[in-house]
């Protein structure tokens, strides 16, 4: 066999315009080092999917030979398989799924994991439910009507999973009213209802992104039991948890306000090194409190710079380190030039109480500094 994968890719390239949605369904499967799962996954899919009208699209970011394993299996497989390998894995799991959606030619797109935590036998049920109920989106759920999450290894993971689901449902209570499992990685979407260009998923939660940004018409759910992983191990890490919180914030309040929120939190965290340095200098080392306060402010500005530069604007470091740092420090101290006269103006001129006035100058300075940071020092 020459390899059906190659043949089908050629057919896809030639017929792309005419057969834009000629297929009934595309199964999109993201893979990251899943070589041990491909065989079992394809066997079980072949047993439940029709041979015609269907295609399987793998979007692969592996560093092992998973794509070769898929291509080898594809050569004798009854259903056309495409492997789209990406060198840099942009956007991680979410980016891979969105890329698969762009490549899909089916009237329905089913998204599922490769590790058999999503039983392949459920896939036909998803599409059948969608057709029967005239839905745009069918979600495989672990939380309703007979669904279960047996595959979540321990109590700790169950707690995290249940807790973050509850939190997410609270944040988006109107949008997620009829969605019991917004974190599900198993779902089917009607291609005509999809606006792929609206989707900018960050990390794992593609379904949440889709529900919030695309607002699909009718949503139905199909219960299933989440299985233990077949082979290999989960690719999710601690960093994924942080990315998830960022994703929630961006979806809820927008990207710009999320940056401002993060800047405020970093600023707040700077109080700690500031006070600590002041205490060390003034009380332990016996330095006069005024120069001590100026030095402590410097320590806090350094702390803020380190966090801002690595956590907040890592992707916008267009200037050199020296360029970014010098500007940041000027901004952090110009702060005093702005705040002191403003404070005097408020207290002596407008007779505002000292504490309230101080707070007002801090807020003013925060907004001004964030504006300069976001629009000048780290311009997009």
60 contacts which partner out of Mn ion, ligand GDD, none, CB within 5 to 8 A by kind? ligand GDD
201 contacts which partner out of ligand GDD, Mn ion, none, CB within 5 to 8 A by kind? none
The CB density around residue 257, as the number of other CB atoms within 10 Å, is: 12
The least distance separating ligand GDD from the CB of residue 161, rounded to whole angstroms, comes to 6
Residue with tokens 């279960």: 148
Residue with tokens 């006035």: 357
The least distance separating Mn ion from the CB of residue 121, rounded to whole angstroms, comes to 17
Told to check if 313 binds ligand GDD by CB under 6 A, we report no
- Residue 117 near residue 151 (C-beta atoms within 8 A): yes
251 contacts which partner out of Mn ion, ligand GDD, none, CB within 5 to 8 A by kind? none
Q: Which of 355, 331, 361 is nearest to 343 (CA)?
A: 361
Q: Which stretch binds ligand GDD (CB under 6 A): 91-99, 248-256, 260-268, 347-355?
A: 91-99
Told to check if 34 binds ligand GDD by CB under 6 A, we report yes
User: Which helix H or strand E contains 59, and what residues bound it?
Assistant: strand 54-60
* Cα-based torsion angle of the residue sequence 36, 108, 55, 180 in order, rounded to the nearest 10 degrees: 10
The least distance separating Mn ion from the CB of residue 113, rounded to whole angstroms, comes to 5
- Residue 69 near residue 36 (C-beta atoms within 8 A): no
Q: Which stretch binds ligand GDD (CB under 6 A): 133-141, 231-239, 280-288, 363-371?
A: 231-239
Residues 6+ apart with CB under 8 A from 172: 182, 208, 211, 212, 251, 252
The CB density around residue 7, as the number of other CB atoms within 10 Å, is: 14
The least distance separating ligand GDD from the CB of residue 206, rounded to whole angstroms, comes to 7
Told to check if 182 binds ligand GDD by CB under 6 A, we report no
Distance CA 302, CA 296 (A): 10
The least distance separating Mn ion from the CB of residue 116, rounded to whole angstroms, comes to 9
Choice between 37 and 258, CB closer to Mn ion: 37
Told to check if 183 binds ligand GDD by CB under 6 A, we report yes
Which residues, in sequence order, are bridge partners of residue 82? 57
Residue with tokens 């495989």: 140
- Residue 354 near residue 360 (C-beta atoms within 8 A): no
CB-based burial, 201-210: b 16+ in 10 Å, e otherwise: bbbbbbbbbb
Binding mask 108-137 for Mn ion (x = CB under 5 A): -------x-x--------------------
Choice between 61 and 374, CB closer to ligand GDD: 61
Q: Which stretch binds ligand GDD (CB under 6 A): 69-77, 86-94, 321-329, 367-375?
A: 86-94
Chain centroid, CA 239 distance in Å: 11
Return the residue of 42, 93, 127, 135 that touches ligand GDD, per CB under 6 A.
93
Told to check if 59 binds ligand GDD by CB under 6 A, we report yes
Distance CA 8, CA 277 (A): 66
Told to check if 234 binds ligand GDD by CB under 6 A, we report yes
Choice between 60 and 374, CB closer to ligand GDD: 60
32 contacts which partner out of Mn ion, ligand GDD, none, CB within 5 to 8 A by kind? ligand GDD
The CB density around residue 277, as the number of other CB atoms within 10 Å, is: 20
73 contacts which partner out of ligand GDD, Mn ion, none, CB within 5 to 8 A by kind? none
Interface positions with ligand GDD (CB under 6 A): 30-32, 34, 59-61, 89, 92-93, 96, 113-115, 117, 161, 183, 185, 204, 234-236
């Amino acid at each position: 066999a020459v390899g059906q994968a190659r043949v089908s890719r050629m057919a896809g390239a030639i017929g792309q315009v005419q057969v834009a949605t000629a297929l009934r369904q595309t199964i999109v499967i993201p893979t990251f080092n899943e070589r041990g799962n491909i065989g079992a996954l394809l066997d079980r899919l072949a047993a439940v999917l029709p041979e015609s009208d269907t295609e399987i699209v793998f979007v692969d970011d592996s560093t092992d030979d998973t794509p070769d394993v898929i291509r080898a299996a594809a050569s004798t497989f009854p259903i056309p398989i495409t492997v789209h390998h990406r060198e840099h894995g942009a956007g991680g799991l979410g980016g891979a799924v969105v890329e698969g959606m762009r490549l899909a030619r089916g009237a329905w797109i089913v998204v599922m994991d490769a590790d058999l935590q999503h039983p392949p036998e459920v896939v036909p049920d998803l599409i059948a439910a969608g057709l029967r109920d005239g839905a745009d989106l069918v979600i495989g759920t672990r939380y309703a009507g007979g669904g279960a999450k047996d595959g979540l290894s321990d109590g700790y993971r169950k707690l995290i999973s249940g807790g973050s689901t509850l939190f997410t449902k609270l944040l988006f209570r109107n949008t997620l009213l009829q969605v019991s499992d917004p974190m599900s990685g198993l779902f089917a979407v009607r291609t005509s209802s999809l606006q792929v260009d609206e989707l900018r998923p960050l990390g794992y939660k593609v379904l949440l992104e889709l529900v919030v940004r695309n607002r699909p018409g009718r949503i139905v759910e199909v219960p299933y039991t989440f299985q233990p992983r077949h082979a290999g191990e989960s690719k999710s890490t601690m960093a994924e948890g942080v990315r998830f919180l960022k994703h929630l914030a961006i979806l809820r309040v927008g990207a710009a306000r999320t940056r401002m929120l993060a800047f405020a939190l970093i600023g707040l965290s700077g109080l700690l090194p500031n006070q600590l340095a002041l205490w060390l200098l003034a009380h332990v080392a016996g330095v006069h409190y005024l120069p001590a306060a100026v030095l402590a402010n410097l320590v806090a500005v350094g702390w803020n710079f380190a966090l801002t530069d690595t956590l907040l604007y890592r992707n916008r470091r267009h200037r050199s380190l020296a360029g970014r740092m010098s500007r940041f420090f000027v901004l952090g101290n110009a702060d005093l030039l702005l705040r002191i006269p403003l404070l005097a103006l408020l207290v002596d001129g407008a007779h505002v109480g000292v504490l309230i006035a101080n707070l007002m100058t801090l807020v003013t300075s925060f907004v001004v500094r964030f504006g300069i940071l976001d629009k000048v020092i780290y311009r997009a």
